[in-house]
Amino acid sequence: MFDFEKLEVYQVVKEANTSTFRLVNALREIDGLVAEQWKRASLSSMLNLAEGTGRMLKADKKHFLTIARGSIFECVAILQSQRELGLIDEVKYDELYRRYEQISKMLLGMYRSY
């Protein structure tokens, strides 16, 4: 098992990534560019967390955590814009928003621990 797989934050990010991909793939009216960007940002958060965990220097680890957290912020902005367009119901919005918020806090805590 790889070190990143042992992290609780990685498990939460992985679940959020799966939820995001399922939601985006189910949204028939979403703009294609927005859909692709949302999926890229979601995947980026997971991949940068994994890559950063494998780095040896604290500065490198922090750099990748910063990128991962920025990608979560990007996901939130897209989520909000799609809700305002009426493409996402409040229940799904609240669920995914809370998960993104949890991830952001976890990544910040991990960043601060270095």
- Residue 4 pLDDT: 97
Secondary structure class of 35 (helix, strand, coil)? helix
Rounded to whole angstroms, the Cα distance separating 22 from 74 reads 18
Cα of first residue to Cα of last residue in the chain, in angstroms, is 22
| Domain span holding position 105 | 13-23+31-113
**Domain assignment present for 1:** no
- Residue 75 pLDDT: 98
What percent of the chain stands above pLDDT 70?
A: 100
- Residue 90 pLDDT: 97
- pLDDT per residue as tens digits for the range 57-105: 999 999 999 999 999 999 999 999 999 999 999 999 999 999 999 999 9
**Domain assignment present for 7:** no
Q: How many H helices and E strands in the chain?
A: 4, 0
Rounded to whole angstroms, the Cα distance separating 74 from 4 reads 22
Q: Residue 92 maps to which CATH number?
A: 1.20.1440.60
Q: How many structural domains compose the chain?
A: 1
- pLDDT per residue as tens digits for the range 30-70: 999 999 999 999 999 999 999 999 999 999 999 999 999 99
